[in-house]
Structure 1
Amino acid sequence: MADKYDVIVLGSGPGGYVAAIRCAQLGLKTAIVERELLGGICLNWGCIPTKALLRSAEILHYAQHAKDYGLKIAGAIEADLEAVVKRSRGVAKQLNQGVTHLMKKNKIAVHMGEGTLTGPTSLTVKSDKGEEKLEARHVIVATGARARDLPFAKADGKRVWTYRHAMTPPEMPKKLLVIGSGAIGIEFASFYNDMGCDVTVVEMLDRIVPVEDKDVSAFLNKSLTKQGMTIMTGAGVEDLKVTNKGVKAKIKDAKGKVSETEFTHCIVAIGIVPNTENVGLEKLVEMDRGFIQIDDYGHTKSKGLWAIGDCTPGPWLAHKASHEGVTTAEAIAKELGNKDVHPHPLDRNNIPGCTYCHPQIASVGLTEEKAEEAGYEVKAGTFPFIGNGKAIALGEADGFCKTVFDAKTGELLGAHMVGAEVTEMIQGFVVGKTLETTEAELMQTIFPHPTISESMHESVLASYGRVIHV
């Protein structure tokens, strides 16, 4: 006899567990199926423990530059890699236990094991305890994704790493090759560089962090180079061979010259692969390159079957998955007769992106280039942190804020930042875009002094030739 629920969520990452909680809040009998750890990759092996590592590297950086703040620290400042990793894993464990508590609090049934769909609204769960059958009125697939391997050099955890290996390194790399300069690649490059490693980043496209505004990419390239990294753009790794001492990489540079360089370790950060194989999805959904195709509420082509998060089209971000989880839960409740919920479709233009390298990057909406390609007449303005009193006082005067507006309507099209604490500030522009703000409203908004956020205001003013402090 199968256990029956209103909703079953397959996967407990930031999309899955949030969807399950929202379903439970709406009075739906809910279950979640997880094959490994509650909280998924983000909480256990991604977003959160990575930020713990980066925080340790940041503290090390400040300690090494104490004299810049008029301070003296006696003795050598050294990184204890084992202790840094232990702290990171402790943070992940604490949050994993938090999700476990949330499941109990919301009376969500947890089935640990490998889930496989046997139909749009039914599945089996295999574990060490055997096999159980589950049925529901609706099923949400939230199986996430995993790191993509190089076809000619699969990750082995010893010399060739994915992000997961890089979080629990068996040893400190001396000379590290990072392939790919998206958020994951750049964050680990920044971490290991701050920890004292010789880092080289190879990016196939003509600039690093290529989804960001060109001005941000150029600034970050200059900053990371100044910090001692080697940045190669328009370049590609043509071959990678593991040796007893490390890896030998054949790299073709932007001019077409191929050279062979030895590294002790390599991190592969060339994208993700959705976890949609062997789940029973093949006849139930439409897929593009393995990603489940959905509408703006999470519907698949099969009635009662929904999908959210990294197993669906991007951007592949935890907060996007969580937002989708809430939207889909409310859409399901509405279909089941709840007249008090009013789900809104996902607006991909209002999804912020944050990269926690040093300096940080944050953005939302269209870049200046993309806005022009879309046919907008653009007004754009930039304000450098060197003109911001708080940034100077903090010793963090490197960075800028850039805003992009529709010249005809004053609509905020995009905002792009690089520098200290910008990942905390970007939400101001996200709220503004969600509320469909204009330049006039932002200009009339009072920003507190002294804060780095004043640079947000100044960038708006700069877009219209009214900047004050430059």
Structure 2
Amino acid sequence: MSGNTTDVIVIGGGTGGYSTALRAAHLGLGVTLVERDLVGGTCLHRGCVPSKAMLHAAELVDGVAEARERWGVKATLDSVDWSALVATRDDIVSRNHKGVEGQLSAAGVTVVRGTATLAGPRTVQVDVPGAGGGRWTARRGLVLATGSRPRTLPGLEPTGEHIVTSDDALFAPGLPSSVLVLGGGAIGVEYASFHRSMGAEVTLVEAAERLLPLEDEDVSRHLTRALKKRGITVLTGARLTDARRTGTHRTSAGQSGTGIRTGTGQSGAGVRTGTEQSGAGIEARVQPARGGETVIAAERLLVAVGRVPVTDGLNLAAAGLATDERGFVPPADWATLETAVPGVFVVGDLLPPPSLGLAHASFAEGLVVAETLAGLRPRPVDYAAVPRVTYSSPQTASVGLGEAAARDAGFEVVSNVLPLTATAKGMVHGQGGMVKVVAEPGPDGRVLGVHLVGPHVSEMISESQLAVAWDASPADIAQHIHAHPTLSEAVGETFLTLAGRGLHQHA
């Protein structure tokens, strides 16, 4: 492997890395992709794809209850065959993985399975297990796409069974009867929703004053109300002060800003694995915003407090690079995502905000970098027009600015909220939810943001994405006819009202 030279070297085969590699190869560049695990990265193997597969199964479980309780369809759910559910999930992941491998191969991308270390601005030392190592040099550019990993807390290191992160929550043994989810962002909300659908008692704890704290306040309010209606205990403005693994000896968690300790306690109920019972679990103490203390016992603790960039062992200094204070690798030029070192680019979770750490944003970043390396002049990623989706039940989907964020940015703002239950199809689904549009005043004011809560709203956000990206006005959208009865007609009705043409709703 010594002395290899190619046009482009990509380190990391997740969504940002493999999209860069595919597009660059399609444009005629020689590409080497170095990945130490499996191409597809976290999203395909531990995150987006397997979690959404499991959430679809949860939706089917919820459907049985709805059929019986709301529609008079006397259906019952005997049990969930965990092994069959897992097999279907893994088959979906496997087929997607083979598809990505096939696309890379067909495009002529050389995939090297190994660990990359920078040896210069465009030179990479690759350690290949069982085959020694080699050095690769890129003529045009080096792309860093090493992704992220779940943030952990001192004293709450994941065990893969009783204490888990989003990377291993779906791969822990069996279905627990109770779960404490620490973190009320998109990941925490999704996992809380899944486990509740599967029959677990769920407590969701968020340190901020509301769930999904980066979203519009009305999104948080509607979602919180829906989750509570489903029987999920939601504690916001709450701090975890102590957590103990029951059935183990007490250990010190050390000094940290979290104040978290681990230790022993009385034996918990145990995790259900289908055939076995374990005596261990978690006992946590939570301090709510209004004072007092709540003691929560659960079979499993899911720590979902964010993700951190992965640069360990990459030796950024050899290429003249360094991370910022949060561990990100910032670009010098957001239009091309090139760093301060010419010819070195960064995509995906290594990027700081305004990048969103979302797979679909990484795809777009990969296209920009590949086309730049090929000598084209692509449009920069418009992060304001990247949709944000939470696949809970109900779902949330947003694009652009929330109302408070728009005012903070100096815009004069009007907003309109329409409950989904104001439409016939919303009544059919019966899950509540809403459409909220934030815009500048007047029928011809710009649409600044659109925010949805309800069933299947992840499939409804694209229209609004175009409205925000193209600086459309309520009048622009209002002239287009939405099918009736659909959930999406609630979007059309919301814009009609802001355009001064409200039919069922009046401003």
Q: TM-score, normalised by structure 1?
A: 0.95
Structure 1 Cα separation of the partners of residues 431 and 495 of structure 2: 19
Equivalent residue for 1:438? 473
Rounded Cα–Cα distance in structure 1 between residues aligned with 2:343 and 2:146: 17
Deviation at 1:467, TM superposition (A): 2.9
Contact 2:475–2:495 under 8 Å retained in 1: no
String of CA shifts for 1:132-185, please: whole Å, max 9, x gaps.
Answer: 211112110000000000122111112100012211121211111000011110
Shift of residue 117, structure 1, vs aligned partner: 1.0
The answer to whether the 8 Å contact 1:166/1:267 transfers is yes
Corresponding residue to 2:321 among 285, 290, 293 = 285
Q: Does residue 219 in structure 1 map to residue 254 in structure 2? A: no
Secondary structure in 2 aligned to 1:469? coil
Deviations 1:411-431, CA, capped at 9 Å, x for gaps:
110000000111011011111
Q: Distance in 2 between matches of 1:430 and 1:286?
A: 34
2:487 alignment partner in structure 1 = 452
Tell me the residue number matched to 2:436: 402
- The residue identity in structure 2 corresponding to 1:435 is W
Task: Give the aligned partner of residue 311 of structure 1.
Answer: 350
Question: Quick one: which amino acid aligns to residue 134 of structure 1?
Answer: W
Map of 1:133 onto structure 2: 135
Matches within 5 A, 1:260-279: 260-279=295-314
The SS at the match of 2:430 is: coil
Structure 2 gaps of 5+ residues are 248-279
Q: Tell me the equivalent position of 1:174.
A: 177
Contact 1:396 1:419 in 2 (8 A): no
Q: What residue number does 1:152 align with?
A: 155
The 8 Å contact of residues 234 and 254 in structure 1, kept in 2 or not, is answered as: yes
Counterpart in the other structure of 2:188 = 185
Cα deviation, 1:258-293, whole Å, max 9, x if unaligned, reads: 333221110000011101121011352242211000
Match of 2:243 among 240, 245, 248: 240
Give me the whole-angstrom Cα distance separating, in 2, the residues matched to 1:65 and 1:319. 32
Report the more deviating stretch, 374-383 or 180-189. Answer: 374-383
Instruction: Answer yes or no: is the 8 Å Cα contact 2:46–2:168 preserved in 1.
Output: no
In the TM superposition, what are the counterparts of 1:21-420 in structure 2 within 5 Å?
21-67=22-68, 68-73=70-75, 75-128=76-129, 129-137=131-139, 138-244=141-247, 245-282=280-317, 284-288=320-324, 289-294=326-331, 295-296=333-334, 297-313=336-352, 314-334=355-375, 341-393=376-428, 395-407=429-441, 410-420=445-455
Q: Is the 8 A contact 2:475 2:496 kept in 1?
A: no
Contact kept in structure 1, 2:33 and 2:109, CA below 8 Å: yes
Alpha-carbon distance in 2 for matches of 1:7, 1:23: 8
CA distance in 2, matches of 1:135, 1:432: 43
Q: Deviations over 1:18-37 (max 9, x none)?
A: 11011011110111110101
**RMSD (CA atoms):** 1.4
User: Kindly tell me: are residues 464 and 432 of structure 1, through their superposed partners in 2, closer, same or farther at Cα, counting changes over 3 Å?
Assistant: closer
Q: Aligned residues, how many?
A: 462
Q: CA deviation at 1:364?
A: 0.3
CA-CA distance at 1:464 after TM superposition:
4.5
Question: Distance in 2 between the 1:225 and 1:187 partners?
Answer: 14
Q: Is the 8 A contact 1:285 1:293 kept in 2?
A: no
Whether the 8 Å CA contact 2:475–2:499 is kept in 1: the answer is: no
Question: Is the 8 Å Cα contact of residues 382 and 463 (structure 1) preserved in structure 2?
Answer: no
Amino acid corresponding to residue 133 of structure 1 in structure 2: R
Q: Distance in 1 between matches of 2:402 and 2:370?
A: 32
Identity %: 37
Distance across 2 between alignment mates of 1:131 and 1:13: 22
Conservation of the 8 A alpha-carbon contact between 2:394 and 2:431: no
